[in-house]
Amino acid sequence: MNGEAILPYLIIIPLFGAFAMPIVSLAGKKAREAWAVIISALTLVVASAVFYHVWKTKEIIVYTLGAKTPFGQGVGFPIRIVWEVDLFGAIMVLTVAFVSLMAVLYSLGYMKHDTGLEKYYTLILILELGMLGIAITGDLFNFYVFLEIMSIASYALVAFRNDTWEGIEAGVKYMFVGSIAGSFILLGIALLYGQYGTLTMGYIAVKIAENPTVTAKVALALFIAGLLFKSGASPVHMWLADAHPAAPSSISAMLSGLVIKVGGIYAMARILFSIYSPMAHSIVLKAYLQPYINMSAIGWLIIIFASLTLIIGNAMAVIQTDMKRLLAYSSVGQIGYILLGLGIGLAAYGTQTGEVALAGAIYHTVNHAIMKALLFLVAGVVIHEVGTRNLNELSGLAKTMPKTTFAFLIGAAAIVGLPPLNGFASKWLIYESSAVFNPVLGAIAIIGTAFCTAAYVRVLYTFFGRPSERVANARDPETSMMLPMLLLVLAIVIMGLLPWQISDKVMIPTARMLEQFKFEYINALMSLAGGA
Amino acid sequence: MSDDMGVIVKTMARATIPLIGIFGAYVVSHGHLTPGGGFQGGATIAGAGVLFLIAFGLSEMKKRYDKHLYSALEGVGGLVFLGAAMLGLGTAFFYNTLWHNGPVFNGDPGTLLSAGYLPIMNLAVGLKVFTGLVSAMVGIALYRRWKS
């Protein structure tokens, strides 16, 4: 199977689905829903094929838009837009496609009573498209375009239920914060383009290593600032706690599970490890006493934000009475873990500890996407059946909604990190590496988990408590809402049964590919120069 | 209650709407030769629609505006764009096969029928922007909540 040949279909299929949606929906409601499911299922098939190809060959796919080679005629540098997919990108592609399909399936039942659904399904496909684009792109401006596609679709989806002010307020707030973050990132891209005259990530990496100027450092600061905003790290997490609960639950699942990861964590990892290659700066240039950018200091910077994030996020989750708000704060906390892994991976670059931390961060990104999607879908079922998300009124749901409560139990146990489930392995890798790297960080990570446990035990205590009148008539939802939850539970359990196999076969190679000790990301692009 | 703007504005609008439309169509179709392109031309044509909406009022607009037609046309614009990008998929996504291999739109640079898929894409984007902006304006006009 040829990876290059199937890669564009990752963009073509959801784009075709989104554009054709207004026409298909002329044929009626059923056609529209079937169309959304078919398109996202096809995308999942293509995503699995891309992932399998990259995983099998361990080679980076480089795809040029508009020509055979990214290099212009008679010039020695890339001038065209390229897509570069390494294993981390491929993992994100697979996760995005899987969770999006679950969200679309869930929407069939959950959004049944809403109007304007053709716009809803168009936007959900465009949101998926934007995230897939971020995961596969190898061009900075192309990355920005996809980031904005993703962001604008999510602003609109947060405010989709515009019959309440809550959604509109959260959407507007999200839009302001997102635009500020987006302009930081755009300014960073503009600075790099002005300084080095190229936008191709692999080639910018070469130029920055040749001449690490102050401009490159300022651009890095702007990227980190913008992407911390987008990923919802403390102290700029305030939009997340408004936007994620206000959206319809299927969208909350995508926002918390995917958008903050792809638009925040993944993009940050790509910029830190592929553009500001720590191999070049922390090891090669430093050894030869050349000017370099101190990437381990950047790593520490991220670690500081990560520690703040995971304490504040998890602690805020404990005191919430709104179920979806609790889940949103818990997302902030889990982002803290992922950032911690990423920061240690950068600060301890080149050591075993750094590699394990990075693998843990990537693993937790995938795991948290699945767990948080499940938890938000459960919250959606509760809202759908009971009509409230106030935890004080939800006492005793376990009696009337046993299957839903079971799904929540699995999701909560996984996110806390109980051993037979998938959250355990990834959190363990992060604890282990942070304790080896610096015991204080290990302690902070454990404290975060203590808060996280407290928050989820509180919800479970409510669910298993004495039944209140409010929940007496609630019951488990219809199949279209139950099925995605069951599939996510299955994914959690299966991934939980094979923790170290996944870690050794997928996550460690991914971390190694991202660290690019042999400049794989740059070489995959520059090796095409001979063919021009 | 009449929500139009009176006979003077309506007469002027009758005279200028076709001219605005023609100018927009010119910008779209010469997108690959002169400044502007699909988006700018489409927005200009949508300006004619907005002028119609303001001059003749929402009730007149409602008679002539078909939501399903406009959203279907917007979809068609997007699909044509995607289709033009997929023409050269044998080489690469967005490969300009019409320009390199023909059979149409491969004239001398600077002539109207040149530049391969660009004129097609400009037309598609123009259609999409025009229908999208008009729909957005009608949407905004319909949801004026402060007017009871």
A66/B71 touch (CB, cutoff 8 Å), yes or no? no
What pLDDT score was predicted for residue A96? Answer: 92
Q: What is the ipTM of this complex?
A: 0.84
Does a structural domain hold residue A435?
A: yes
Could you tell me which of A116, A36, A23, A31 has the C-alpha nearest to residue B68?
A: A23
Mean pLDDT across the stretch B126-130? 91
Smallest Cβ–Cβ distance between A23 and the set B75, B81, B88 belongs to B75
A26/B95 touch (CB, cutoff 8 Å), yes or no? no
Mean pLDDT across the stretch A252-273? 90
Residue of A nearest to B143 (CA): A162
What pLDDT score was predicted for residue A126? Answer: 92
A22/B92 touch (CB, cutoff 8 Å), yes or no? no
Question: Which residues of chain B have a CB within 8 Å of the CB of A64?
Answer: 92
A23/B72 touch (CB, cutoff 8 Å), yes or no? yes
A238, pLDDT greater than 80: yes
Could you tell me which of A156, A154, A257 has the C-alpha nearest to residue A484?
A: A257
Q: Structural domain tally of chain A?
A: 1
Shortest alpha-carbon distance between residue B106 and chain A (Å): 16
Task: Let me know if A406 is exposed, middle or buried by CB neighbors in 10 A (0-12, 13-18, 19+).
Answer: middle
At residue A531 the predicted structure's pLDDT band, cuts being 50, 70 and 90, is very low
A423, pLDDT greater than 50: yes
A66/B92 touch (CB, cutoff 8 Å), yes or no? yes
A12/B93 touch (CB, cutoff 8 Å), yes or no? yes
At residue B2 the predicted structure's pLDDT band, cuts being 50, 70 and 90, is low
Sign of CA dihedral A86, A179, A299, A495: negative
Percentage of residues in chain A having pLDDT higher than 90: 27
What pLDDT score was predicted for residue A532? Answer: 40
Mean pLDDT across the stretch A58-65? 85
**Which phi and psi angles does A494 have, rounded to 5°?**
-65, -45
Does a structural domain hold residue A332?
A: yes
A438, pLDDT greater than 90: no
The angle, 0 to 180 degrees and rounded to 10, between the axes of the packed helices A323-347 and A352-386 is: 170
- Cβ distance B35 to B41 under 8 Å? no
A490, pLDDT greater than 70: yes
Q: What is the rounded average pLDDT for all residues in chain A?
A: 87
Question: Which of B76, B94, B145 is the mutation pick for testing A, counting most A CBs within 10 A?
Answer: B94
Tell me the whole-structure pTM to 2 decimals.
0.91
Shortest alpha-carbon distance between residue A67 and chain B (Å): 6
In this structure, are strands A82-85 and A61-64 parallel, antiparallel, or unpaired? antiparallel
Shortest alpha-carbon distance between residue B91 and chain A (Å): 6
When mean pLDDT is compared over A147-156, A158-167, A468-477, the highest value belongs to: A147-156
Does a structural domain hold residue A470?
A: yes
Mean pLDDT across the stretch A28-43? 89
B147, pLDDT greater than 70: no
Smallest Cβ–Cβ distance between B78 and the set A19, A26, A65 belongs to A19
- Cβ distance A160 to A247 under 8 Å? yes
Q: Look at chain A and count its residues.
A: 532
What pLDDT score was predicted for residue A101? Answer: 92
**Which phi and psi angles does A491 have, rounded to 5°?**
-60, -40
CB atoms near residue A523 (< 10 Å): 13
At residue B146 the predicted structure's pLDDT band, cuts being 50, 70 and 90, is low
Alpha-carbon distance values, A440 to A190, A307, A311, A344, A445 (Å): 38, 10, 13, 13, 9
Residue of B nearest to A16 (CA): B79
Q: Which two tokens stand for residue B96?
A: 């300009």
What pLDDT score was predicted for residue A530? Answer: 58
Mean pLDDT across the stretch B78-105? 82
A16/B79 touch (CB, cutoff 8 Å), yes or no? yes
Shortest alpha-carbon distance between residue A65 and chain B (Å): 5
Give the separation between CA A412 and CA A375, rounded to whole angstroms: 7
A15/B82 touch (CB, cutoff 8 Å), yes or no? yes
- Cβ distance A323 to A380 under 8 Å? no
What pLDDT score was predicted for residue A520? Answer: 78
Question: Which of B67, B74, B82, B100 is the mutation pick for testing A, counting most A CBs within 10 A?
Answer: B82
SS3 A22: helix
Size of interface A-B (CB pairs under 8 A): 49
Does a structural domain hold residue A439?
A: yes
A144-153, A247-256, A276-285, A362-371: range with lowest mean pLDDT: A276-285
Residue of B nearest to A20 (CA): B75
- Which helix (H) or strand (E) segment is A84 a member of? strand A82-85
Question: Which residues of chain A have a CB within 8 Å of the CB of B89?
Answer: 8
What pLDDT score was predicted for residue A124? Answer: 92
Question: Which tens digits make up the pLDDT trace of B42-65?
Answer: 999 999 988 888 888 888 888 888
**Which phi and psi angles does A84 have, rounded to 5°?**
-125, 120
A352-361, A397-406, B123-132: range with lowest mean pLDDT: A397-406
- Cβ distance A115 to A61 under 8 Å? no
Percentage of residues in chain A having pLDDT higher than 70: 99
The angle, 0 to 180 degrees and rounded to 10, between the axes of the packed helices A87-110 and A508-515 is: 120
- Which helix (H) or strand (E) segment is A104 a member of? helix A87-110
Mean pLDDT across the stretch A422-441? 88
Could you tell me which of A430, A412, A413, A411 has the C-alpha nearest to residue A503?
A: A430
Give the separation between CA A151 and CA A230, rounded to whole angstroms: 9
Cα of first residue to Cα of last residue in chain A, in angstroms, is: 25
Give the separation between CA A158 and CA A170, rounded to whole angstroms: 7
B79/A19 touch (CB, cutoff 8 Å), yes or no? yes
A23/B93 touch (CB, cutoff 8 Å), yes or no? no
CB atoms near residue A362 (< 10 Å): 30
Does a structural domain hold residue A441?
A: yes
B4, pLDDT greater than 80: no
Beta strands, E only, A166-300: none
Residue of B nearest to A13 (CA): B82
Question: Which tens digits make up the pLDDT trace of A66-121?
Answer: 777 888 777 778 888 888 898 899 999 999 999 999 999 998 888 888 877 888 89
Does a structural domain hold residue A78?
A: no
At residue B10 the predicted structure's pLDDT band, cuts being 50, 70 and 90, is confident
Q: Which two tokens stand for residue A326?
A: 């609790």
Smallest Cβ–Cβ distance between B92 and the set A20, A23, A64 belongs to A64
Does a structural domain hold residue A477?
A: yes
DSSP assignment of chain B: ---S--HHHHHHHHHHHHHHHHHHHHHHHTTTTSS--HHHHHHHHHHHHHHHHHHHHHHHHHHH--HHHHHHHHHHHHHHHHHHHHTTTTT-TT--HHHHH-SSS-S-TTSTT-STHHHHHHHHHHHHHHHHHHHHHHHHHHT-TT--
B1, pLDDT greater than 60: no
Question: Which residues of chain A have a CB within 8 Å of the CB of B81?
Answer: 19
At residue A235 the predicted structure's pLDDT band, cuts being 50, 70 and 90, is confident
Does a structural domain hold residue A66?
A: no
Question: Which tens digits make up the pLDDT trace of A110-147?
Answer: 888 887 788 889 999 999 999 999 999 989 999 999 99
HSE, side-chain direction, 13 A CA sphere, residue A163 = 5
Q: Is A322 left (phi over 0), alpha (psi -120 to 50) or beta?
A: beta
Shortest alpha-carbon distance between residue B96 and chain A (Å): 7
Give the separation between CA B105 and CA B33, rounded to whole angstroms: 13
- Cβ distance B137 to B50 under 8 Å? yes
Question: Which tens digits make up the pLDDT trace of A493-526?
Answer: 998 888 888 888 888 888 888 888 888 788 777 7
SS3 A82: strand
Smallest Cβ–Cβ distance between A16 and the set B72, B82, B96 belongs to B82
B141, pLDDT greater than 90: no
B79/A21 touch (CB, cutoff 8 Å), yes or no? no
B93/A26 touch (CB, cutoff 8 Å), yes or no? no
Give the separation between CA A270 and CA A262, rounded to whole angstroms: 10
What pLDDT score was predicted for residue A8? Answer: 87
Please give the residue range of the domain that contains residue A346. Answer: 295-497
**Which phi and psi angles does A418 have, rounded to 5°?**
-75, 140
